[in-house]
Amino acid sequence: MKDSEHIIQAINRGDIEAFKQVYALYYSVLVTYANSILADSEDMGEDIVQDVIANIWEAKTQFASYSSFKTYLYNAVRNAALNHIKHQGAADKYIEYLQYEYTPFDYSGVNVEEIYRQLFALIDHLPYRCREIFLLHMEGKRNEEIARVLQLSVETVKTQKKRAMAYIRANIDKSLLYE
């Protein structure tokens, strides 16, 4: 059995360790997702995600597979965020627009939030200097520019970029589950 199915079984059993793992893996990205929907009332994102996860625990929600668990998380957070906006008296048209705009599963069947999650978890675990260099690289900065901004040699920038990519290669398949 795959690790991902182990964690689902543990969640179904109500194993607290599995829930701790959910925090490490999903909490931050779900809050970012909620906040992107909430826009103005940003400090609600954390509360919404807390409620969603605690509700799984309290209601002893069961999941058939890892992917149904993921779908549930993103959908539940999205719906809770939309509800929050509705309660604040937003116009129906606006809610409709948000519902369309923030479907976690794109019409193409791709979960964009899941891309962010994997990408961010990988970046987050790079050593500090390596990470700053890689972020500038992702912003489209050239090696020379990065070297100037961070006061490093171009050689150092190149080595650190290589290190970042080697780390990502080594860990990306694990990042599906573990941080």
Partner 1 sequence: MEYIETIIVKYLTGTITDTENDVLQQWLSSSAEHRKLFEQICNDTTLVARYRSYAAIDEVAAKRRFLARVYPQKLHTFVRRTWRYAALLIPAVLLSLYVYMNREVEPAPEFTLTEVQPGESQAVLKLDNGFEMSLDSTSKSIQFDESVTAEMMSGTITYMPRATKSTIEYNTISVPRGGEFRLTLSDGTRVHLNAESSLRFPVVFTGGERKVQLTGEAYFEVVPNSSSQFIVEVAGTRVRQYGTVFNINAYDGRPEVVLVSGSIGVTTATAGAEVRLAPGQRAFCDDKIMVTDVDVASYIGWTKGRFTFDNRRLDEIADILTRWYDTPIEIDDKSVAEMRFTGSVSRSATIHHIMNAISYAQGVEVAVVGDKIKIYK
Q: Pinpoint the alpha helices (H) of the chain.
A: 3-13, 16-22, 28-38, 45-58, 66-87, 92-101, 112-124, 128-138, 143-150, 154-171
Measure the CA–CA gap between 55 and 19, rounded to whole angstroms.
11
Q: Contact between 169 and partner 1 (CB under 8 A)?
A: yes
The pattern of x and - marking residues 67 through 106 that bind partner 1 according to CB under 8 A reads ---------------------------------------x
In this structure, the number of other CB atoms found within 10 A of the CB of residue 36 comes to 15
Measure the CA–CA gap between 17 and 39, rounded to whole angstroms.
32
Q: Contact between 23 and partner 1 (CB under 8 A)?
A: yes
Reduced to 3 states (helix: H, G, I; strand: E, B; else coil), residue 111 is strand
Q: Contact between 19 and partner 1 (CB under 8 A)?
A: yes
Tell which residue, 88, 100, 92, 84, has the closest CA to residue 46: 84
Question: Is the CB of 22 or the CB of 98 nearer to partner 1?
Answer: 22
Q: Contact between 124 and partner 1 (CB under 8 A)?
A: yes
Q: Which residues pair with 111 in a beta bridge?
A: 105
Q: Contact between 149 and partner 1 (CB under 8 A)?
A: yes
Binding partner 1 by CB under 8 A: which of 10, 119, 154, 177? 119
Q: Contact between 148 and partner 1 (CB under 8 A)?
A: yes
Residues that bind partner 1 (CB under 8 A): 16, 19-20, 23-24, 27-29, 31-32, 35-36, 42-43, 46, 49-50, 53-54, 57-58, 106-108, 110-112, 114-116, 118-120, 122-124, 128, 135, 138-139, 148-149, 151, 164-165, 168-169, 172-173, 176
